């Protein structure tokens, strides 16, 4: 019998997709984003999706009622609650009310008592103000019987073609042992690169070099070139979510002046003062993992073509397989991809957790 998983603050469900791919039974995703919930429901087998405001802790009762009505004994609670106050991507506000959203996970865990809790968040949780955010999480879960172990994981170390750092907390209920995180599976010289990850996807260029939108459903134009592409294409016969964005002529010209791996600071001197945003005109490097995927700020560009990556290219760099289809409008899809946990990273944690779980607990 597969262990049952519930994903709180699920978004599109990157973390729970990792558990799903590891053989767990994902039963429910909870979020407040309708487009993300549509994506979640379509990509997690028979899982249900539920729209709830988790600032309102009375909604936890709605989740508990769902589990009771379905006669589900939850084994693992997973989630990536927003903690914007700890993120380097925005202003660090320790009093940002979103920092306390994780307490919904604490309250749900206290009542349904899963064997394990997996919480994912930004590195600032362990790095900002002496790691006060991480200490809060550890202490609050300790009060209800969970030994939470935090660990900063670097995505390229586990075969993901993206320079993304995230902190994971894994807690075991009423356990006398700490969860042991898996060692890296990939050495630094063998990191999966941008080109290896997305080089087989249609270029969305005409023979004359013009950028095109492309079709909603496209054929693979190139054969599989490596093991990563083989994994991404394993259950997919067509390319979806691969629609181009045609930049304005000024942007197209400016990015054409930026070498791969560089940003606006590499522009010729006469254009130096135009951009202020520190990631403006960032071109990925073909021979390295990508920068951390954002939520669609239009500041990152393809390592070769003078356009931003498509949703599918960003999803590949996040390790979403090609059979994982994103729903909503294009900006909603970009947000879902950028906010997600890389599924392969979720699967690495899910695989490592299996030996700690017991049937019938």
Helix (H, G, I), strand (E, B) or coil at 94: coil
- CB neighbour list of residue 65: distance below 8 Å, 6 or more residues apart: none
CB 215, CB 239: distance < 8 Å = no
φ, ψ dihedrals at 214, nearest 5°: 85, 175
Kindly list the distances between the CA atom of residue 171 and the CA atoms of 15, 34, 106, 140, 182, in Å, as whole numbers in the listed order: 16, 29, 11, 11, 15
Helix (H, G, I), strand (E, B) or coil at 19: helix
Catalytic residue among 83, 170, 239, 350: 83
| Inter-helix orientation angle 330-339/34-42, to 10° | 70
- CB neighbour list of residue 127: distance below 8 Å, 6 or more residues apart: none
Among this protein's residues, is 83 annotated catalytic?
A: yes
Measure the CA–CA gap between 319 and 342, rounded to whole angstroms. Answer: 6
* Active-site annotation, residues: 83
């Amino acid at each position: 019998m597969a262990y049952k998983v519930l994903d709180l603050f699920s978004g599109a469900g990157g973390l729970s997709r990792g558990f799903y791919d590891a053989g767990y039974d994902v039963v429910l995703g909870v979020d407040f984003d309708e487009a993300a919930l549509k994506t979640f429901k379509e990509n997690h087998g028979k899982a249900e999706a539920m729209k709830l405001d988790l600032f309102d802790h009375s909604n936890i009762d709605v989740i508990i009622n769902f589990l009771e009505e379905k006669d589900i004994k939850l084994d693992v609670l997973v989630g990536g609650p927003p903690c914007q106050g700890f993120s380097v991507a925005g202003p660090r506000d320790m009093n940002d009310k979103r920092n306390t959203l994780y307490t919904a996970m604490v309250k749900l865990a206290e009542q349904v008592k899963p064997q394990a809790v997996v919480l994912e968040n930004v590195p600032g949780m362990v790095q900002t103000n002496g790691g006060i955010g991480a200490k809060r999480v550890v202490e609050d879960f300790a009060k209800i019987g969970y030994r939470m172990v935090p660990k900063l994981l670097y995505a390229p170390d586990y075969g993901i073609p993206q320079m993304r750092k995230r902190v994971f907390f894994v807690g075991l209920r009423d356990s006398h042992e700490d969860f042991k995180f898996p060692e890296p599976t990939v050495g630094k010289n063998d990191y999966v690169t941008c080109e290896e990850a997305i080089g087989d996807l249609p270029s969305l260029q005409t023979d004359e070099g013009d950028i095109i939108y492309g079709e909603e459903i496209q054929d693979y134009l190139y054969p599989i070139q490596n093991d990563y592409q083989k994994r991404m294409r394993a259950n997919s016969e067509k390319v979806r979510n691969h629609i181009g964005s045609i930049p304005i002529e000024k942007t197209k010209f400016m990015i054409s002046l930026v070498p791969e791996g560089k940003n606006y600071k590499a522009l010729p001197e006469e254009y130096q003062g135009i951009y202020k945003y520190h990631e403006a005109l960032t071109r990925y490097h073909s021979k390295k993992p990508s920068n951390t995927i954002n939520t669609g700020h239009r500041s990152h560009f393809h390592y070769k073509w003078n356009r931003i990556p498509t949703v599918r290219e960003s999803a590949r760099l996040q390790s979403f397989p090609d059979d994982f289809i994103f729903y909503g409008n294009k900006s909603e899809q970009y947000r879902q991809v950028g906010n997600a946990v890389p599924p392969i990273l979720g699967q690495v944690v899910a695989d490592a957790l299996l030996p700690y779980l017991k049937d019938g607990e």
